[in-house]
Amino acid sequence: MPLTTTGELIAEARQKRTAVAAFNVITLEHAEAIAAGAERAGAPAILQISENAVKFHGGSLTAVAAAARAVAETSRAPLSLHLDHVVSADLFRRAHAEGFSSVMFDASKLTYGENVKATAQAVRWGHERGLWVEAELGKVGGKEGEPPLDAHAPGVRTDPAEARAYVESTGVDALAVAVGSSHAMTERTAALDHELITRLATAVPVPLVLHGSSGVPDKEIRAAVRAGMRKINVGTALNTAFTGAVRAFLEAHPSAVDPRKYLVPAREAMAGTVAHFLRQLEG
Ligand SMILES: [Zn+2]
C-alpha cells in the first residue's frame, strides 16, 4: 500500500489510546522483516533510520531510504518512514525529499537555550514542508550553560513542568522522555516509572515517545502505553534476533558461504520479534 505518514499513524493511535512501534532499519533485511512482522500482526509500524545507520551506509541516506520506501510501498501493512536521532542540520533538511514524513531532531548535546533555539528552528522549517518533528528531553537541571542531562543516561527522569515548557517553546509534535529505559539493552530488565509517565501524559500536550524499548519487558511496555506512551522505539531487539540467528546457523554450518542461507533465518527471527512487539500494543 502507499506510504503512510507518521503523523497519521500517531494520531490514530492517540485516538485509540494505543501506540505505534518504530523499528530501526540498518539493512534491507531489517526493512523486509519489519514489513513482514507488521503484516503478520495486522498492525501499522514505523520504519526508522537513524543518523548512525546513515553513517554506516557511508554517510549516504539515499540508497537505504529508497530501499525502505520500496519495501513500505509494496507491503500490505501501513508503514511510514522516520529519520531518527538526527544531529546534522544537513541530514534533517534532506528528510523530506527522501520520502520521510517525520524526523527526530536531537539537539541534546547543546545547552538548554541553544537546544530550544535549534529545535524551534528545525520545527518551523519542517512544518513548512509537512514534516512531523520529534525531540527529546532528559533533565534540564545541571549548571547554567551546561546541556540538559541526556534522556538515555541511566537514572535520568524528565520533569513534567520542564517537558511542558520545552514543548511550548519549541513547537515539537512529539516528545521522547526519560522514564527508566536506556539505549542498547540486550536484556529486557528495565523497570519504568509509570506514575511519572501518567504525570507527563497529563502535563505535555503532545504524544510521548519511549526510546530504548528493547530493554523493557512486555508487561512494562503494555503498562507504559496504558499510561500514555504513543510511540515505542525498538532497535536493539531486532539486532539481537538477527545476530543470534546468524550465529546459530554458522555454528551449525561452519562451512556455509552463501549469505542467503543465514540471512533467511535472521530475517525471519527479526520478523518474529517485530510481530511480538506489535502484539503488545493491541490493548
Ligand atoms: Zn533513542
Per-residue pLDDT at 188 exceeds 80: yes
The average pLDDT across 18-35 equals: 98
Question: Helices 236-252 and 28-41 sit at what angle, rounded to 10 degrees?
Answer: 110
Neighbours of 157 (CB within 10 A): 16
pLDDT for position 186: 82
Phi-psi domain of 171 (left: phi exceeds 0; alpha: psi -120 through 50; beta: other): left
pLDDT for position 126: 97
For residue 282, the CA-to-ligand 1 centroid distance in Å is: 23
Per-residue pLDDT at 77 exceeds 70: yes
84 counts as catalytic = yes
Environment class of 248 (CB within 10 Å of its CB; exposed 0-12, middle 13-18, buried 19+): middle
Residues 88 and 257: their CA atoms lie apart, in Å, by 38
Neighbours of 133 (CB within 10 A): 25
Q: Annotated binding site: which residue ranges?
A: 85, 106, 136, 183, 211
For residue 53, the CA-to-ligand 1 centroid distance in Å is: 13
Threshold 0.75, pTM exceeds: yes
Residue (of 25, 5, 43, 10) closest to 209 by Cα position? 10
The average pLDDT across 55-78 equals: 97
Q: Annotated binding site for Zn(2+): which residue ranges?
A: 85, 106, 136, 183, 211
pLDDT for position 156: 85
115-169 pLDDT, tens per residue?
999 999 999 999 999 999 999 998 776 555 677 777 777 788 999 999 999 999 9
> What are the structural domains, with CATH classification, of the chain?
6-280 (3.20.20.70)
84-93 pLDDT, tens per residue?
999 999 999 9
Yes or no: say if 48 and 22 are a contact pair by the CB < 8 Å rule.
yes
Write the CB contacts of 221 (distance below 8 Å, at least 6 apart in sequence). 210, 213, 232, 277, 280, 281
Per DSSP, the three-state class of 209 is strand
Comparison of pLDDT for 147 and 67, the residue scoring more: 67
From 84, 159, 173, 193, active-site residue: 84
Calculate the average pLDDT of the chain. Answer: 94
pLDDT category at 257 given cuts 50, 70, 90 is very high
